[in-house]
Structure 1
Amino acid sequence: MKTTLEELQAFVAVVESGSLTAAAERLGQTVSGTSRALARLEKKLDTTLLRRTTRRTELTEEGQGFLLRTRAILASIEEAEEHLAARRQQPAGRLRVNAATPFMLHAVVPLVPAFRRAYPQITLELDTDELNIDLLARRTDVAIRIGPLRDSTLHARPLCTSRVRVLASPAYLEARGKPRSVQDLERHTLLGFTQPESLNRWPLRGAHGDEWPVAPALTASSGETLRQLALQGAGVVCLSDFMTAADRARGDLVQVLARETVDVRQSISAVYYRNTQLAARIACFLDFLQERLG
């Protein structure tokens, strides 16, 4: 049957206004348009809802029963719209966020208490993964991705950039000596990523150009694992500032070959599926991150 909201509104407006002319004015429509909507409704229901005379309009017995249900339907729709409007003012619901372990630990987790205070009705679900996930398969609302983006089906919002540096612990440098040139690194234990291979091209300037491909003696899939190894004095590593800034501030990790290091900054973006209207709980989270990370 597929009765439309427009037809139901026309029916109620005519009953409550007492005439087609008054109903049309109330709805902001033409008299003919309101009349056609009412006629379509009666045809779909295969019944007469209103008896119309030159003087007045009155409900049939079927129309009286249908009016009660129609008012209930319209009231439910209005309530739902008000509920959504309230959620836009005070976002609520479950928000599933995915990020690589290092970014989650060092960038997102420190911001969670302030976000929870600002939006107490949002339930956060934090998930970590070292690879780019399928948002739909993992039922994820927002994923934080580091580096170039390749998935055109997703909408992306830039959050910040983070510089990449070559680092080692003071204990390692005391034991093995501080490298004075890029070539000196060949005599050191290098820590690198199992994948992607692009992370094993360090931003070091030399005869080879502005990138130096390394052959790691020890690899890991997670930057956090490499950070912990570097802190334990296991070798020289190349990591992003977002996970090592506090280590450098405390002196637990020291930058090496600073003059030879090219200023390379990783782009960090939030990605989510393209929607005509972004859910309030997602929008406020993205705004929150962008303001504090940007």
Structure 2
Amino acid sequence: MIDVDALIVFSAVIDSGSFSAAAERLGQTPSGVSRTISRLEERLGMTLMRRTTRRLQLTEEGTWLLGRARAILADLANTEAEAAARRSQPSGLVRVNAASPALGHLLAPLLPEFLDTYPLVQLELVSGETYVDLIEERADLAIRIGALPDSTLNARRLGSSRLRVLAAPAYLDKHGIPRTPADLGQHRTLGFTAPASLNTWPLRHDGVEGWTVAPAVTASSGETLRHLALSGAGIVSLSHFMSRADVAAGALVPVLEEFALPWTQPVWAVFYKQGALAPRVAALVEFLAKRLGEVLEE
């Protein structure tokens, strides 16, 4: 039977990129790690990786085993977390992937409360602006804003946030205030590199619902566009959740409000589910479903 400790060592070597780094991470010696990998290869009768002085490269068999090892170790971790939940409350590490605006404006203000409620849960927060493969990125949960691509993943809607067209007073003082959506063609607009649908703004004009702009500046991150708008670089369309504090402070002001459409962006918790959701993940999803719903309605 394969030793679970050997699978832990094998995964650590791949995740850390070297025997020495894995040894440090596991509190072992590099020679001990090397012997464990050699015994695992001997046990399975296959070569798992090719080793050079500069890098490790998985063989086809190694890639297969890595997927199996991660699934086995994740199942063991979930079993341990479920046992802890039966004894007291959810515990263990939850890896969360979210776009930087969601991390900064939605999650960060609420997570202290979550951690106080579930002190045995640890969080690892990773910023990602695009669709993420949860298995490949080893994420337990992703927070995504907007329409979701077709997926075999499970998703739970946490709420929605209104889109608004905004600009800094300094920009408007210098370049004037657009009076109709058609005037945007004479202004510097800020938009997203992808998807293109984000550059259709929530404005109605001449019987058209949704006004498409040709941005002078594009960025992959809404947070980058927010900072550009705050600096007076141009006019932008952003979710209310990430701009409301700026509007309240007068750093950004709504424009073309008389043409505004009540468009909103849904906020999703996305997770990979096989069987029961791990208690530590379920606890975070339930918490966000309750608290984000309240925050997004403000």
* TM-score, with structure 2 as normaliser: 0.69
Deviation at 1:175, TM superposition (A): 1.2
> 1:62 — aligned with what?
none
Q: Are 2:96 and 1:84 aligned?
A: no
In the alignment, structure 1 residue 196 sits paired with structure 2 residue 195: yes
2 CA distance for matches of 1:231 and 1:82? 47
Identity %: 53
Q: Distance in 1 between matches of 2:98 and 2:168?
A: 26
Contact 1:153 1:274 in 2 (8 A): no
Q: Distance in 2 between matches of 1:141 and 1:81?
A: 15
Residue 257 of structure 2 aligns with which residue? 258
| SS of aligned partner of 2:131 | coil
Deviation at 1:161, TM superposition (A): 0.2
* 1:274 to partner: Cα distance: 2.0
Indicate the RMSD between aligned Cα atoms, in angstroms.
1.7
Give the Cα–Cα distance (whole angstroms) in 2 for the partners of residues 152 and 221 of structure 1. Answer: 22
Write the distance in 2 (CA, Å) between the matches of 1:246 and 1:93: 34
Listed as ranges, the gaps of 5+ residues in structure 1 are 1-79
Q: Counterpart of 2:218?
A: 219
Per-residue CA deviations over 1:144-197 (Å, capped at 9, x if unaligned) read 111122233111111010000000011111111111111111111100111111
Counterpart check, 1:290 vs 2:285: no
Residue in 2 that maps onto 1:153: 152
Pair 1:252–1:81, CA change in 2 (3 A): closer
Return the offset for 1:259: 1.3
Distance in 1 separating the partners of 2:80 and 2:205? 63
Q: Distance in 2 between matches of 1:206 and 1:136?
A: 44
The CA deviation at 1:86 is 3.4
Q: Secondary structure at the match of 2:259?
A: coil
Deviation (angstroms), 1:113: 1.1
CA contact under 8 A between 2:94 and 2:280: conserved in structure 1?
A: yes
Provide the rounded CA distance (Å) in 1 between the counterparts of 2:80 and 2:130. Answer: 40
What is aligned with 1:234?
Answer: 233
Distance 1:256 1:271 in 2: 33
1:85 Cα shift? 4.1
Give the C-alpha shift of residue 81 in structure 1.
8.2
Give the counterpart letter for 1:86 in structure 2.
A
Q: Give the Cα–Cα distance (whole angstroms) in 2 for the partners of residues 208 and 223 of structure 1.
A: 28
The answer to whether the aligner puts 1:276 opposite 2:266 as a matched pair is no
Amino acid at match of 1:139: R
Q: Is the 8 A contact 2:82 2:90 kept in 1?
A: no
8 Å CA contact 2:84, 2:91 repeated in 1:
no
Residue 131 in 1 paired to residue 137 in 2?
A: no
SS at match of 2:281: helix
Map residues 97-108 of structure 1 onto 2, 5 A cutoff. 97-108=96-107
Q: Distance in 2 between matches of 1:211 and 1:82?
A: 50
Distance 1:113 1:262, change over 3 A: same
Q: Decide whether the 8 Å contact of 2:141 with 2:269 is kept in 1.
A: yes
> What SS does the corresponding residue of 1:161 show, helix, strand or coil?
strand
Q: Structure 1 residues 202 and 109, CA, compared in 2 at 3 Å: closer, same or farther?
A: same
| Counterpart residue identity of residue 110, structure 2 | L
Residue by residue over 1:224-278, the C-alpha shift from the partner in whole angstroms, topping out at 9 and shown as x without a partner, is 0000000000000001011101111111110101110110010111011122211
**Amino acid in the other structure paired with 1:226:** L
Calculate the TM-score normalised by the size of structure 1: 0.70
Structure 1 segments, 4+ long, off by >6 Å, are: 80-83
Q: Which has the larger Rg?
A: 1
Query: Structure 1 residues 230 and 214, CA, compared in 2 at 3 Å: closer, same or farther?
Result: same
